[in-house]
Homo-oligomer: A and B are copies of this chain.
């Protein structure tokens, strides 16, 4: 066999194709053009090492903490006036994902910041894996910190898709998610990437994520965007919004409240 044929075979095989030799009866009459590699989502999903469960500390149920005096409130509890995107529900001071309405993003954009955000998966949540209480916080609209109901490991998924993961990149240090029906608090410290004049990366983004008082990401380097399929890549950009995800599952929608940000 010559080299090109071998390469072709490799690619086809890899692409999930059945391939046989030159004498195969139904072989293509003409040499196939080299197939582009086909990525599948599973290629960037890891299952080990497992993320230990930690039961976070409990505050009294009424212990909502007000924002610091220099924080920018991103949700006023009444409407979507600070957000681009529409259709999401606002009810009882909560912001609720509207399925198939698409993601929403803050009108204001940011560079480095400290973000506080609380989220809740309804107690009647259904579904499994990534289809159970899935949403996410996209830092600068690009880099996703995952939200999922993975409470107490009842719902299993790939570790770099659990709550607090840099999606498809880095698993959280712990699983500190509260049970459905209870609020979870994210405290996120984010350093934006910097780019050189030629648009190459000068310094990547870094993020520290605390969930319910438990450290999940410790100044973790973000390696690029967080696609479902394929590898992370950086593209030069400036300031960006906070984007919240509508994952589009049939299961119950995620709720948000008490969202504020401090520019650093």
Contact = CB atoms under 8 A, between A and B. Distances in A.
Interface of A: 1, 3-25, 27-28, 35-44, 52, 54-60, 62-71, 112, 114, 116, 131, 173-174, 176, 187, 189, 191, 194, 196, 202-203, 206, 208, 210, 212-215, 218-219, 223, 231, 262, 264
Nearest to A42: B37
13 contacts: A4-B6, A10-B40, A14-B38, A54-B68, A56-B69, A57-B66, A57-B68, A59-B59, A63-B65, A112-B196, A187-B213, A208-B208, A215-B262
Main SS of the interface on chain A?
loop
A175 B12 CA distance: 32
B17 A15 contact: no
A14 B1 contact: no
Contact of A13 (B12, B54, B174, B218): B12
A193 to B, nearest CB: 11
B36 A14 contact: no
Contacts of A23: 22-23
Given A189-B208, A219-B206, A55 B69 contact: yes
A264 to B, nearest CB: 6
A28 B25 CA distance: 15
Given A10-B41, A58-B65, 17 more contacts: A3-B4, A13-B15, A21-B21, A36-B42, A37-B42, A37-B43, A54-B70, A59-B65, A68-B213, A68-B214, A116-B213, A189-B208, A191-B218, A194-B203, A215-B262, A219-B219, A231-B231
Contacts of A202: 194
A213 B194 CA distance: 26
Contacts of A262: 214-215
The residue among A37, A67, A262 with the most chain B CB atoms within 10 A of its own CB is: A37
B9 A8 contact: yes
B39 A14 contact: yes
B65 A62 contact: no
